[in-house]
Structure 1
């Protein structure tokens, strides 16, 4: 029998336009399954600081991960250029209000094995990847960073509210933080109820004061935000339907820490900090995307 090595590479792929390939690895989740991530390493001897990169909701598996590595390769290329290892992450699908109703994960024993009060959630897969990559021989586990867009920006807050996360700093770009902020949405005119699950695809909340007025449990939100004990750069997007939620996320963090920053740009793409490649495989990077990525790297560099 061949022993499984903790950092055994599942497969390696060349990435167009780069001599830095993508190494696909599997991190053991908190309930003993596996979740994949794709690690690329910069030139030079390690261990290197490392940025974990995430976007949106979960699901899709390795196929989704491969698409991100190749079609959205520019963000990793930019981080590699700055001397950071980086890893696109994949995790399980979000459970509607699973964070709100599930509480903290508790683990006990039964019949010599583990027993949990609930299944792990998507942000706990991120925790598993953080812990796994921190032990990689080419990565400096004391210099880990997080870059998350949309739901992945909210996942950072969920993670920090319940765990002591091994992160130096993080960027929450366009964070869809409605669950963490306990926003009342059922009576919002742009929200529909779909068989007991909220359809928030058309949620409109551009105004920060409107978002603040929808907070259902200020004391609980305060406790959650108090768990964020790392520097955070919050990024907004002027045209976004949820700009008020993004700004409220920043305001609540900035009320507690003086190392929280806010930047916002005008752009027509949600997730604009992840430029795509064109049909020829060439990244299409406009001035706003270039400026935003430079600001992200500069922010990480201050805590490197």
Structure 2
């Protein structure tokens, strides 16, 4: 196939999902530095154009193997979105850079010798920017109704994206957002946080109190400026017994100081990332009452901002 005939919206793989008429279409979005990142688009019934939800979880890396596992094993969230009339895609992006957002600043680009020049490498949330721009040109997608659903690190990624790349989204859900970098939280004196070679180990970090989290903000003015850029309604989801519930709640409270369309909900559940229930090989999900209620709240939030 010649370069002239290459279709950037042609899937590189189409995979059926057990018991579903909506397969996963794996597409490649060109990132801001000219490489490619994959996402797996599913479309609801009907001609469209459909509203679209980007579905993300945690840190990056893992490539197509990680993505295919998510598409099948954690398909329930996309089944729910399809039933509600939303196109959706599990996405994959590059690995997080330690404090890359804090130290790198906004991404700037120019042209040298006819080609692009960046002031820094793109970060993982900017791969999401590339995916959103790519899917927006798909004829089955309504480019004016793009949404973001992110859990854990991907919840923080939503807010990082908004702070530097506004204007892409209609609304977003930050579920259990690990927003310590966005909020400039001081972690050096947290006993369970260690550092080796400039890379912090925060796996055992515990900040359950909102007041304790607020007291750790190192640069309130910078945090305020970052959140001033948030230009959409945001639903923040917590988890009552999570070690970082104080960070989750503080994220909501600081956003709510800026906007009156920010919402908070929290449930008791023993799984981090509870809004993404697992399914078996036949596509049958193991879903409890809390997960059903939480996903219904997510869909209601999207519906209210999709109209």
Which of the residues 49, 52, 77 maps onto 1:50? 52
TM-superposed CA distance for 1:279, in Å, is 6.0
Which of the residues 255, 260, 279 maps onto 1:277? 279
Quote the residue 1:70 is aligned against: 72
Task: Please give the residue correspondences for 1:1-304 in structure 2 after superposition, counting only pairs within 5 Å.
Answer: 1-2=1-2, 3-278=5-280, 281-304=283-306
SS at match of 2:34: coil
Separation (CA, whole Å) in 2 of partners of 1:253 and 1:53: 21
159-168 or 41-50, which deviates more: 159-168
Show structure 1 runs of 4+ deviating over 4 A: none
Q: TM-score, normalised by structure 1?
A: 0.98
Superposed CA offset, 1:207-232 (max 9, x none): 00000000000000000011111000
Instruction: Count matched residues.
Output: 304
Separation (CA, whole Å) in 2 of partners of 1:84 and 1:117: 36
Superposed CA offset, 1:64-107 (max 9, x none): 11000000000000000000000111000000000000001111
Superposed CA offset, 1:190-245 (max 9, x none): 10112221100000000000000000000000000111110000000011000000
Structure 1 contact 127–165 (Cα < 8 Å) conserved: no
Structure 2 contact 75–283 (Cα < 8 Å) conserved: no
Separation (CA, whole Å) in 2 of partners of 1:112 and 1:85: 37
Separation (CA, whole Å) in 1 of partners of 2:115 and 2:24: 35
Structure 2 contact 106–164 (Cα < 8 Å) conserved: yes
SS at match of 2:33: coil
Structure 1 residues not aligned, in runs of 5+: none
SS at match of 1:303: helix
CA gap of 1:268–1:182, structure 2 versus 1, over 3 A, is same
Separation (CA, whole Å) in 1 of partners of 2:12 and 2:164: 30
TM-superposed CA distance for 1:278, in Å, is 3.5
Superposed CA offset, 1:121-148 (max 9, x none): 0000000000000110110011111100
Superposed CA offset, 1:143-190 (max 9, x none): 111100000000011110011232111000000000000000011111
Structure 2 contact 72–281 (Cα < 8 Å) conserved: no
SS at match of 2:128: helix
Separation (CA, whole Å) in 1 of partners of 2:281 and 2:51: 32
TM-superposed CA distance for 1:277, in Å, is 1.5
SS at match of 1:276: coil
Structure 1 contact 50–140 (Cα < 8 Å) conserved: yes
Aligned-pair Cα RMSD in Å:
0.9
Separation (CA, whole Å) in 2 of partners of 1:89 and 1:165: 20
